[in-house]
Structure 1
């Protein structure tokens, strides 16, 4: 057994191996002109290699002891809870989509979109859809083709139209109760979904409002053009609203997702979009869609435990601590850590999983409310993910528009993400603002908000 106060930079080599392989493969493939370069080399393979490196690096402690440590981390309560939520979230998303929920939600929103508010409308629709579905990629896949048609019909600058879609998509990616980033950030920090939602919401809302104002300034009211509206059914939107409401009132997340799956399945069967057999198949497909993040979580949980056991996290926290001067600077440090890790991995969920253990220890050392830590991890990984040109969101947009949009022209118009960073930082330095985002004090002994 390794001494608890052991500090070793070498113990971080496995995590660095993962990042170097994943980032390096992306850079090489990008230089070769490969499409979606940063998503070609499987992250699971990279983390598998990192796990092998960890066992080799710590071989003196024996394979049996190292594997026991790895298994303890991979099978911890937080990891197993996160894995189950991932699976259920995937199943809900797949079933709700298969019964026509996404189409109905998009068409419902577009039907209320006046021609005079096209750009703002696309931002609001994108924000609503991504919050309901929990996926920025799915939102962009559904909306960008519509946005392209609207921009061409109304003579609008495609760059700001696309930026409105990306900003809205990241709004929901950050806030949604069933987003994988929300699940990862809350489980790694041991907090409830609704508490993290509140911490995010009071930063996201003013950023969204100011974004709307700026869009009205930079994208003059369109005099022509209207979106073609398809059919929609309010019942098919119900499962998304149900999940959001039940999660906000504090119902156990497992019950929330199982209820959402059941309601979506019943509606799908009643409308003939699903049968009992296809309903069960869609649940399985939803599970399969989460296999990558499922396996990643297991490996990262195990590697994190090995790294912690052999002093890697102690060394990192000690070095980071040398640059920190208190609770506020520690929170700024967490913002930088989250953003830099996302820039290195080009995947906000992976970044959160990689940072989770270190962030939790920093949170405890500097008495940062875990709800705040979860919020920071989710927020700054989403901000960077929505701004890096090699991120999946931008790459998808370029593909869907046939290269008609220049990424560098879009980034300056992504007002929402810049403003979200500003308001999140303000919530760190303004005490009254911080209290608004967090309900009550955190009880460190009980490991939950005081009074609960």
Structure 2
């Protein structure tokens, strides 16, 4: 900041995350196969490194920190969502919901806007329900079916879903990231919304245009009659309707599994025994993601104990110069925190207090600092291959998260748009915010 401050924390506390990045990304670049290093193995090795380092801290305390991080309520909640989402996705698939839903969409939408339509639908749903995970769970199976029916690259279809999901994760007033950002910056949600939408709306519009042009040459047989059963579309309509009503996502998924299973029993696609097996198969298919979530939480606990994030936060904060530098500092802090934690909500909670101090010292409006925190965290979250969103989408689609990253247009444009606002934002608005600082 403006005054000199002694750097706190320990740079070596970040070593576990650096080990993970070297193992996971480095192996992929060397071999050309990013699946050559299993992500769960990379996290286990990194956690072991974190536990073994810093001999000044008792081994028991380090193990307890790992366990507390893994047992964080947000991590457990995310894991439960994974398991139930897998159950619902598989039940819906086995009773024919995906095929009917895709065929219905193909019957209604022109071929050149199918993928752009997925993105727009994803934006609407995530904005309404406030959860990227719920959106991804609901729409990824549809993206999979759409790719199979049309021949459009699966990564493009799933990338459109993830992009739409991150739109609402960033902007919705029901989103955890919005709640965390506004609470840590002490600003109203409606004010943050107004500041936020100016940053990301151009990116969303450009994404829709790009997706339209990218898939414009797709050879979709429009004269073909696509068969579908409206009753088999109901599970997706039901899960979206329940989510829009504001019901807890866990309750939504449980009800949706029962609803989809009931339709499957009615149509004869299931017997009671095969229904239970379908649920079990879907849950088992997501167990690996649950374990990865636990490992990420534990690794974050070790990094915090070893003062790694403290070092990073104070290192950046002590080098800020000027208002633009302060905004870039906030962006850098939240981006790195999200890379280290793999969870944008946790990253905002960690960085939020320091971001507020920086904003107050340099006269940055509270709604602006909140929107920067939320936007950059969601943008980075949509890019990292080990983030919950890409892992879930990849798991449901049966492809590597790197295959989605190549076509995940919106998070990249959101990141660029936010940087553009920092460098070329309205000077009048910034000046007015600075002059008003301290008068409220």
Q: How does 1:309-348 map to 2 (within 5 A)?
A: 309-324=305-320, 328-333=327-332, 336-337=335-336, 341=339
Change (3 A) 1:60 1:126: same
Distance 1:324 1:362 in 2: 15
Change (3 A) 1:352 1:133: same
- Aligned partners of 1:265 and 1:274 also within 8 Å: yes
**Shift in Å, 1:86:** 2.0
Q: How does 1:256-267 map to 2 (within 5 A)?
A: 256-267=252-263
**Shift in Å, 1:146:** 3.3
Change (3 A) 1:275 1:139: same
Instruction: Specify every segment of 5 or more residues in structure 1 that has no aligned partner in the other structure, as ranges.
Output: 31-36, 150-160, 342-350, 386-390, 400-406, 434-452
The residue number in structure 2 matching 1:301 is 297
- Aligned partners of 2:344 and 2:381 also within 8 Å: no
- How many aligned residue pairs are there? 376
- Aligned partners of 1:93 and 1:133 also within 8 Å: no
- Aligned partners of 1:8 and 1:314 also within 8 Å: yes
Root-mean-square deviation over aligned CA pairs? 4.6
The residue number in structure 2 matching 1:174 is 166
Q: Over residues 292-345 of structure 1, what are the superposed CA-to-partner deviations in whole Å (9 max), with x where a residue is unaligned?
A: 221122122122112212211110111232455667434532574379x4xxxx
Instruction: Specify every segment of 5 or more residues in structure 2 that has no aligned partner in the other structure, as ranges.
Output: 1-6, 126-134, 184-188, 357-365, 386-390, 430-440
- Aligned partners of 1:129 and 1:172 also within 8 Å: yes
Q: How does 1:28-427 map to 2 (within 5 A)?
A: 28-30=30-32, 37-114=33-110, 118-125=111-118, 128=121, 134=137, 138=141, 140-148=143-151, 165=157, 168-174=160-166, 207-213=203-209, 226=222, 228-324=224-320, 328-333=327-332, 336-337=335-336, 341=339, 353=342, 357-367=346-356, 373=373, 376-382=376-382, 416=410, 419-423=413-417
SS state of the match for residue 366, structure 1? Answer: helix
SS state of the match for residue 251, structure 1? Answer: coil
Q: TM-score, normalised by structure 1?
A: 0.67
**Shift in Å, 1:183:** 9.6
SS state of the match for residue 382, structure 2? Answer: helix
SS state of the match for residue 67, structure 1? Answer: helix
The residue number in structure 2 matching 1:346 is none
**Shift in Å, 1:218:** 8.1
